[in-house]
């Protein structure tokens, strides 16, 4: 269970309320805030602070500053008056209702932000593509005009100066059209035996298509591990094809709920909001739709760790590591997370040797990670002490 923070301070004036909250050594990146007009929740595991305001505030005009070991919230009051106290006395049912409403509000705002961001990226990509196509068309037209002008000039020059035995080209054309065996009045020889110096017709214009094999991985080809990378890409392609699984039993889902990537993002947001069971439900549905996405299993393992479902956390982390084979540079961060989560679950189950093996595997991926090294040393001391 989280530890409730009580040692906060607050001040007020007619228009604002200021709350100062010590972070107790927790990094600013690990602080998660949910704020509405009636409710404020600050989660920085294993600590929790929440307020049901005495009077409503204007959440849109309020602000938060987090840093230097403290979180400071400046909240704008709806009405210009002094409050008797910071907290209001309401029943547990009302508290639950406000909490759930706050989580839904945050989720809706995040969904709107994601939708707006996706629309903006799509518009930027469309503009970039149109610009690139326009430049390519202009360059193609310029090259075609230059080529046509060059060929026309060559043809005109050939028609004006070309000779065949001292005769113009139009006379040579007449000789070529004479029947075989006819005498050439100019030379007294048969055309069939005379060597022709006719110029060939100009070649027609054409384009040569050149394509290059794309490199998905950032490493140079001479330094890469081609067989492992090809196997990894093959697994990713199979995962994308697995989306068209039979969904007969899921007919009541909305269109976006049939997308495992959308469900994964929803689970991630629920996890960030501290609603771990709801996040597990979202990941469960994503797994039903597609069992080939390693991030879904790894993130569900993180939820199980929070819910103390330790054996399930081990199982999901192992499944994620299996899907992340072969080991390549592109999936190194995901493998590190899966090893740490499984190692943590093993240690919580007091299987310290197995946990140490996972932490050592994570250190092989990121040997300069001081936090991982410190955790591995602590586990090693526990093993040495028990033996």
Residue 71 belongs to what H/E stretch? strand 70-77
Nearest-angstrom CA–CA distance, 130 and 128:
6
Stated pTM of the model: 0.39
Question: What's the pLDDT at 361?
Answer: 93
- For 155, 166, 175, 236, 353, the CA distances from 162, given in Å and listed in that order, are 10, 9, 15, 64, 91
Contact 298, 317 (CB under 8 A): yes
* List of residues 6+ apart from 359 with CB closer than 8 A: 339, 340, 343, 372, 375, 376, 379
Residue from 168, 152, 172, 148 nearest 160 by CA: 168
Question: What's the pLDDT at 269?
Answer: 92
Question: What's the pLDDT at 37?
Answer: 86
**Residue 112: CB atoms within 10 Å:** 10
Nearest-angstrom CA–CA distance, 224 and 216:
11
Phi, psi of 42 (to 5 degrees): -120, 115
| CB-based burial label for 382 (10 Å; 0-12, 13-18, 19+) | middle
* List of residues 6+ apart from 306 with CB closer than 8 A: 271, 276
- For residue 291, the 8-state DSSP code is T
**Residue 353: CB atoms within 10 Å:** 13
Nearest-angstrom CA–CA distance, 90 and 86:
13
Any idea how long the chain is? 387
Contact 299, 268 (CB under 8 A): yes
| CB-based burial label for 242 (10 Å; 0-12, 13-18, 19+) | middle
Phi, psi of 43 (to 5 degrees): -115, 120
Question: What's the pLDDT at 370?
Answer: 92
Question: What's the pLDDT at 288?
Answer: 87
Strand, helix or coil for residue 292: coil
Strand pairing report for 3-4 and 32-35: unpaired
Nearest-angstrom CA–CA distance, 235 and 83:
60
Contact 263, 282 (CB under 8 A): yes
Q: What stretches in the chain show pLDDT beneath 70? A: 1, 159-197, 212-226, 237-256, 386-387
**Residue 294: CB atoms within 10 Å:** 23
Contact 295, 321 (CB under 8 A): no
């Amino acid at each position: 269970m989280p530890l409730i923070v009580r040692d906060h301070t607050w001040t007020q004036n007619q228009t604002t309320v200021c709350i100062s909250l010590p972070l107790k050594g927790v990094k600013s990146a690990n602080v998660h805030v949910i704020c509405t007009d009636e409710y404020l929740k600050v989660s920085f595991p294993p600590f929790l602070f929440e307020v049901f305001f005495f009077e409503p505030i204007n959440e849109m005009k309020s602000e938060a500053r987090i840093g230097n070991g403290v979180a400071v919230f400046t909240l704008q009051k709806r009405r210009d008056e002094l409050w008797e106290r910071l907290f209001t006395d309401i029943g547990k049912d009302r508290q639950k209702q406000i909490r759930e409403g706050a989580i839904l509000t945050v989720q809706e705002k995040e969904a709107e932000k994601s939708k707006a961001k996706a629309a903006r990226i799509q518009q930027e990509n469309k503009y970039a593509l149109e610009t690139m196509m326009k430049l390519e068309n202009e360059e193609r037209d310029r090259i075609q005009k230059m080529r046509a002008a060059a060929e026309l000039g060559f043809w005109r020059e050939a028609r004006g100066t070309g000779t065949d035995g001292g005769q113009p080209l139009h006379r040579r054309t007449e000789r070529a059209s004479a029947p075989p065996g006819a005498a050439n009045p100019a030379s007294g020889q048969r055309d069939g035996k005379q060597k022709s110096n006719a110029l060939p017709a100009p070649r027609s214009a054409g384009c040569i298509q050149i394509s290059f094999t794309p490199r998905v991985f950032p490493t140079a080809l001479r330094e890469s591990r081609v067989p492992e990378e090809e196997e990894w890409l093959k697994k990713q392609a199979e995962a994308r094809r697995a989306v068209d699984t039979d969904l007969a039993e899921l007919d009541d889902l909305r269109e976006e709920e049939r997308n495992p990537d959308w469900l994964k993002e929803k689970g991630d947001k629920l996890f960030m909001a501290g609603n771990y069971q709801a996040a597990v439900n979202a990941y469960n549905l994503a797994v039903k739709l597609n069992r080939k996405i390693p991030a879904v299993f790894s993130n569900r393992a993180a939820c199980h760790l929070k819910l103390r479902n330790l054996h399930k956390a081990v199982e999901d982390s192992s499944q994620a590591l299996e899907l992340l084979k072969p080991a390549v540079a592109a999936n190194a961060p995901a493998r590190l997370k899966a090893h740490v989560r499984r190692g943590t679950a093993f240690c919580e189950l007091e299987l310290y040797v197995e946990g140490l093996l996972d932490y050592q595997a994570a250190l092989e991926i990121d040997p300069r990670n001081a936090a991982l090294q410190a955790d591995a040393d602590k586990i090693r001391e526990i093993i040495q002490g028990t033996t």
